[in-house]
Chain A
Amino acid sequence: MSDRTRLVGWAVLLAVLAMAPLFISSGRWIDFLEMTLFVAVLGQGWNILGGYGGQYSFGHAVFFGTGAYIQALLQFKFGWSPWITLWFAVGGAALVGSFVGYLSFRYGLRGSYFALITLAFSEAFHVLSRSFPAITEGGRGVQLPLNQDAAQAISSFQFNFAGPFLSAYGFYYTIFALLVLAYAVTWWMEHSRFGAQLVAVRENEEAAEALGIDAFRVKLGAICLSAAISASAGVYYVQKYLFIEPGIAYGPAKSVEALFAPIIGGLGTVIGPLLGSFFIHGVGEMTKDMIGQVLADRPGVDLILFGVILICVLAFLPRGLAGLLEALWKRIAAGRNA
């Protein structure tokens, strides 16, 4: 599939997503799309480090949670504007990324050891956030005050009490904008020297070094970028729900969500996390419809399904849904030329 074809595809896809609110009046489906796009952004962050970089992190919540906490705390404690705090949130998470990356890569941790150490870091942050209420409000969590003045909706980055359009679609377009940004950055990276070097390091680190690539710097760059993107999802989360606490920020749920989407959708591709997110959330919705409301409301249903899908994809579709689509496209193209 040529770059031009892919760009055209993206233009169409993004246009459809941009115009979706015009065609969808059901709040439930807008929520569905928002949730899907949220995981798609969170997952793209993971994808940069895991898919392109080949370093699987099992503790990506550490970046999401740090972004969310900085976003919430700077508003909560100092009353700063959310449009300013978001830069600190993303930057702060990137700093945490460089810290984790520096330690891990300096000491040559790879594969399972790297996955485990990221898990340890997210657990450590989990405990820390719970244990220092003076700084983080501890287990109580941070509750941001609700803005009910429509005139202040944009400046307070809260759309629940905005005008009719913003209150229905404000957050949808927020996550959509973050998606466009994150995916544009990923596309740029894929077509840059940095991306080529990152992928080379993933494929064979020693060969990459022999060809002049400083593997340590490249991996460090990747983990910082990865952290920043996942943190942006944390910023959205805080603005939408106005609440964050240690379990949500640093618990295993976000770490698992972050890796599901890119693995199922296709590691190391731009569209992977989006495809994966659509797939798992779509299947989740269908299952809920099929097994009925009573069973569907019980916790755990979604994740059983996602876990099984993960195992199946790993077993049968190593290149994910994107790989499947690529193979189909080749068949169609070959059929046309024949």
Chain B
Amino acid sequence: MDFFGIDIPSYGWQTVLGSAISGVFLGSIYALVALGLTLIYGVLHIINFAHGALLMLAMYAVFYLWHFFGIDPYLAMLIVVPGGFLFGYGLQRMVIGKASHGKDEIILLVTLGVSIVIENAALFFFSATERSVRVPYDLDGIDLGVTFVVYPELAALGGSLLVTLALWLFMSRTDTGKAIRAVARERQGARLVGINVDHIFAVTFGIGTACVAVAASLLVPTYAVHPQVGYLFVLIAFTVVVLGGMGSFVGALVGGFLIGITEQLGRLYMGESLGVITISVIFIVVLLFRPTGLFGQRSG
């Protein structure tokens, strides 16, 4: 097939299905990253530009825990997730919250500044060399016929579903979760009933960072770590959140899968290089024509 001089190949359904399946696994990671982002947006109403940088930082943490102490990346979650929560809490409470004076446009720029500082600090301290982890199981997996699924991919899918469930349970069953939902819906009212809004903001940011830390653990076995890796994920994460709907967990999951599948199919039909443009295109189209996304509510 010829399309403006680009060759569009035709593939058998097995290849397409295989591509789509690997897209689902890729998408589960995207969903996990997007989950934290959508939570932060839903509660604080800010677009956290530093989200990708936090992912990158968590990935380096997982890498160095493996490199220096031989800790398996999945086990590293036990350290990195609480650490991520504390880091996110501190970042919001002491830097972002303080610097923004609560003004939306400023918050966007402040999180941009934070992402620049973190990314370049990583560049400075860790250098641009790509780091990879070698684990004994990273090439083993299940043969599905149309494609071969390695264990880390399965873990990624399982992990993101578990985290989504855990998050949903937390938000609906615990007191803190209810407080967070209260603040998300009505900031002033929550303050009036005695909820410490600054603390809740920081907790939310911490949870968002913790989600990203889980994603990092799941990514490191199959993804090389380098200072720019966060930047690559940022636009994808935003696309997922916008597609799924700001503030919706289900949206983040569904959006993640859709984006993952689209990206893989895009790669298949348009080549490695051009394939990723599908993400930018989806992002632009959704923002223009359906900014609330698939599952989102009208943002405040």
Interface residues of A, Cβ cutoff 8 Å to B? 54, 56, 58, 103-104, 107, 109, 111-113, 115-117, 119-121, 123-124, 127-128, 130-131, 134, 252, 256, 259, 263, 298-304, 306-308, 310-312, 314-315, 318
Question: Across the interface, do A314 and B288 meet the contact criterion of CB distance under 8 Å?
Answer: no
Does B90 sit at the interface, judged by CB under 8 A?
no
Q: Which of B99, B120, B277, B291 contacts A304 (CB 8 A)?
A: B120
Q: Which of B5, B116, B271 contacts A303 (CB 8 A)?
A: B116
Chain B interface mostly: helix
The distance in angstroms between the C-alpha atoms of A302 and B98, with both chains bound, is: 24
Question: Across the interface, do B124 and A120 meet the contact criterion of CB distance under 8 Å?
Answer: no
The distance in angstroms between the C-alpha atoms of A256 and B235, with both chains bound, is: 15
| CB of B177 to closest CB in A, whole Å | 26
The distance in angstroms between the C-alpha atoms of A315 and B101, with both chains bound, is: 8
Contacts of B283 in A (CB 8 A): 116-117, 120
Contacts of B104 in A (CB 8 A): 111-112
Question: Across the interface, do B284 and A120 meet the contact criterion of CB distance under 8 Å?
Answer: yes
Question: Across the interface, do B116 and A307 meet the contact criterion of CB distance under 8 Å?
Answer: yes
| CB of A150 to closest CB in B, whole Å | 40
Q: Which of A54, A109, A298 contacts B288 (CB 8 A)?
A: A109
Q: Enumerate 20 A-B pairs (CB-CB under 8 Å) in ascending A order.
A: A56-B109, A103-B288, A109-B288, A112-B47, A120-B287, A121-B284, A300-B119, A300-B121, A300-B124, A304-B117, A307-B115, A310-B109, A310-B112, A311-B110, A311-B114, A314-B99, A314-B106, A314-B113, A315-B98, A318-B106
The distance in angstroms between the C-alpha atoms of A296 and B159, with both chains bound, is: 41
Question: Across the interface, do B235 and A314 meet the contact criterion of CB distance under 8 Å?
Answer: no
Does B280 sit at the interface, judged by CB under 8 A?
yes
Question: Across the interface, do A124 and B113 meet the contact criterion of CB distance under 8 Å?
Answer: no
Interface residues of B, Cβ cutoff 8 Å to A? 5, 46-47, 95, 98-101, 104-106, 108-110, 112-117, 119-124, 127-128, 227, 231, 235, 238-239, 242, 270-271, 273-274, 276-277, 279-281, 283-284, 287-289, 291
Chain A interface mostly: helix
The distance in angstroms between the C-alpha atoms of A307 and B242, with both chains bound, is: 27
Question: Across the interface, do B99 and A120 meet the contact criterion of CB distance under 8 Å?
Answer: no
Closest to A316 in B: B99
The distance in angstroms between the C-alpha atoms of A300 and B45, with both chains bound, is: 30
Closest to A263 in B: B109
| CB of B50 to closest CB in A, whole Å | 10
Contacts of B117 in A (CB 8 A): 303-304, 307-308, 311
Q: Which of B109, B239, B279 contacts A314 (CB 8 A)?
A: B109
The distance in angstroms between the C-alpha atoms of A59 and B220, with both chains bound, is: 29
Closest to A295 in B: B124
Q: Which of A121, A127, A308 contacts B274 (CB 8 A)?
A: A127
The distance in angstroms between the C-alpha atoms of A204 and B120, with both chains bound, is: 36
The CB with the most chain B CB atoms within 10 A, among A107, A123, A256, is that of A123
Closest to B238 in A: A116
| CB of B83 to closest CB in A, whole Å | 21
The distance in angstroms between the C-alpha atoms of A58 and B121, with both chains bound, is: 21
Contacts of B271 in A (CB 8 A): 131
